[in-house]
Each structure stands twice: as C-alpha cells, then as structure tokens.
C-alpha cells in the first residue's frame, strides 16, 4: 500500500511540475522576445515646453579660462610638465594632472576612483594633489590666500547682508 501511495504522490508532483512548466511557457510567450519587440519611447502625459537655454553662452561662462590659467601657471613646476618614460611613452599632460586634482577637490572623491576615468593611479593622483597644493600656495598665496583686511571684511559683510538681508557672517552678532 505504501508503494501505491508513493507512486500516486510522485504522479501528483510530476503533474504539478508539468503545470508550472506550462504556466512558465505561457508567460514567456505572452512577454515575447525583447529583441523582436520594437522599442517604445516613454512619453509623459503632458508635452514638455521648449526652453531656449542658450547653451553656447553657458559654455562660455564655464571657468575654462581660469582653469587653463591655473594649469599653465602650475605647469611651470617640472612635475606637471609632460615627460616620457624609459620606454619613450608620453606621460600625463599638465591638463590631466590638474583635472584629476580639481575633480578630487570638487567632488570629495577618493584618489583611486579616477583611475578608470582618467587612467591615473591612486599614488599618482595623491602626488598630483600634494604638488598642486604646494604650487597653488606658492604661485597664488600672496594674492588670494592672505588674511582678509578690514576693508575686505566690510565688503564681505555688506555683500552678505545685501544678499541675505541679515547680519551674522564672520562671527559678528
């Protein structure tokens, strides 16, 4: 009796499995092959309004000139000049070295995250950061990295109050 109930149980499981396979096949047929289906673009319920953004002026407003001024100034340091290695292959350009430093400072990213994008190793990125920082302090420190004068403080306070409408910058009450 146990063998007949066991075979009956096996038949029931086979039938359930067969039903599941049929359901699966039906779902696959209903979905179809994604390669055969035409791609549809999603459209929002509302039409988007066209806004003239003057992209060219936006590109001009980028601080490209300032960045290139910094790159050219820093390139006076021999480390930032492009050299060739022992096999005669060209090394990194000053633009590549400065770009990795500025991206790292702007995004707060780790040194190794730029390897894939800029093809610069972590150790090189860190060395670029050290050298770049020293060069900026040496080249621009006297003009831009000085303590503010009382006239500078007054100008900053006036700008802050004009923009925000209340005092409170630079620790003043």
Closest CA to 74 of 51, 47, 93, 91: 93
The candidate with the shortest Cα–Cα distance to 102, out of 132, 123, 78, is 132
10 Å CB burial of residue 132 (0-12, 13-18, 19+) is buried
* Ramachandran bin of 142, using left for φ above 0, alpha for ψ from -120 to 50, beta for the remaining angles: alpha
Q: Is the pLDDT of residue 154 over 80?
A: yes
Closest CA to 80 of 90, 69, 59, 95: 95
pTM higher than 0.75? no
Burial, 139: exposed, middle or buried (Cβ in 10 Å; 0-12, 13-18, 19+)? middle
Residue 166 DSSP one-character state:
S
**Alpha-helix residue ranges (DSSP H) falling in 32-93:** 55-61, 64-74
What pLDDT, in 10s, does the model give residues 45-82?
677 777 777 777 777 766 788 899 999 999 999 999 99
pLDDT digits (tens, 9 = 90+) for 93-140: 999 999 999 999 998 888 988 888 888 999 999 999 999 999 999 999
């Amino acid at each position: 009796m146990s063998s007949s109930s066991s075979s009956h149980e096996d038949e029931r499981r086979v039938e359930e499995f067969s039903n599941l396979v049929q359901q699966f096949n039906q779902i696959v047929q209903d979905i179809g092959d994604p390669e055969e289906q035409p791609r549809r673009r999603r459209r929002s319920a509302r039409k988007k309004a066209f806004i003239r953004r003057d992209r060219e002026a936006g590109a001009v407003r980028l601080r490209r000139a300032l960045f290139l001024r910094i790159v050219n100034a820093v390139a006076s340091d021999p480390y930032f000049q492009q050299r060739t290695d022992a096999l005669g292959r060209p090394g990194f350009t000053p633009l590549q070295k400065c770009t990795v430093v500025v991206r790292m400072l702007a995004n707060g990213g780790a040194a190794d995250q730029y390897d894939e994008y800029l093809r610069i190793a972590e150790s090189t990125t860190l060395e670029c950061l050290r050298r770049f920082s020293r060069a900026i302090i040496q080249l621009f420190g006297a003009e831009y990295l000085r303590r503010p004068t009382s006239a500078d403080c007054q100008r900053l306070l006036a700008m802050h109050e004009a923009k925000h409408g209340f005092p409170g910058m630079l620790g003043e009450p």
